[in-house]
Amino acid sequence: MVLDGFAQRPLGFVGSSDLSWRTFSATAVEVGRRITAEVTAVDPDRGRARLSMAATENAELWAFLKSRRVGEVLSGRIASIERFGVFVALDDGPDHPVFPGVGFITIPELSWRHFETASDIVRVGQRVSCEFLRFDTMNGEARLSLRATRPDPFRAFAENTTVGRTLPGQVTRLVPFGVFVQVTQDIEGFVHLRELTRTAVEAPEEAVRVGDRIMVVVTEIDPERRRLVLSRRQASTDLA
């Protein structure tokens, strides 16, 4: 795209996802057509600006999203639950021209604890308060976090638990290289296959089943990575 005032060479670029909020083929844009677009990014090294025509289709939505601040708490209701995340219809601001809500929560940002599906955490129509993470200019969304508005239980667990401590737990999942064990309502740790028993086993099913209650020893706590490593082998001398 040749920008007004810079006729020497093309300086602007509109990606296919930035053409319109609605279904819109890139071939529908004619060479020589004059357009209005908003600058969304600048690449000094390549001497090019990324533009969005979609931003000018709904000025009210764009202005609303640009005025949000990282860390701001926004309220709304769950509008739709999808495989890839959750849409939130925000109390303030305009509707989205395409999606069920202007706010969007990715799966990892729903909760600190492990869960199988988004429906385990929220339901359609439920009211939520979320922290604003960023403005997704490609989709015209407010990226939100539900878990950020709540204390991270792993932090408290790490502050009150030391390596070498023995804990009771329940086996929740089996994977080829070990098992996950729930040691509190919100905390799961991992027991590697070699730490399940004193004698070698080829599969976790040879030692435990989902639902089994076992004793484990804490061997590693990493608060930054939210990683808890456990050992069943070290928890008891009675194991084979």
* Averaged pLDDT, 136-158: 93
Residue 10 in this model has a pLDDT that exceeds 70: no
Structure-model confidence comparison of residues 238 and 144, the more confident one: 144
* Averaged pLDDT, 87-112: 93
Residue 3 in this model has a pLDDT that exceeds 70: no
As a whole number of angstroms, the distance between CA 108 and CA 149 comes to 14
Domains along the chain with CATH numbers: 12-57 (no CATH), 59-149 (2.40.50.140), 153-231 (2.40.50.140)
Residue 1 in this model has a pLDDT that exceeds 50: no
Is the pTM higher than 0.75? no
Residue 114 in this model has a pLDDT that exceeds 60: yes
Among residues 202, 233, 231, 199, the alpha carbon closest in space to that of 218 is found at: 231
Structure-model confidence comparison of residues 76 and 235, the more confident one: 76
DSSP 19: S
Rg of the chain (C-alpha set) = 25
Across-strand partners of 144?
105, 132
* Averaged pLDDT, 34-39: 60
C-beta separation of 40 from 90 below 8 A: no
Across-strand partners of 168?
215
pLDDT, position 2: 46
**E runs forming strands in 110-212:** 127-136, 141-145, 166-175, 178-182, 188-192
C-beta separation of 179 from 196 below 8 A: yes
- 16: its two tokens: 């296919």
Among residues 187, 175, 192, 183, the alpha carbon closest in space to that of 233 is found at: 192
C-beta separation of 42 from 52 below 8 A: no
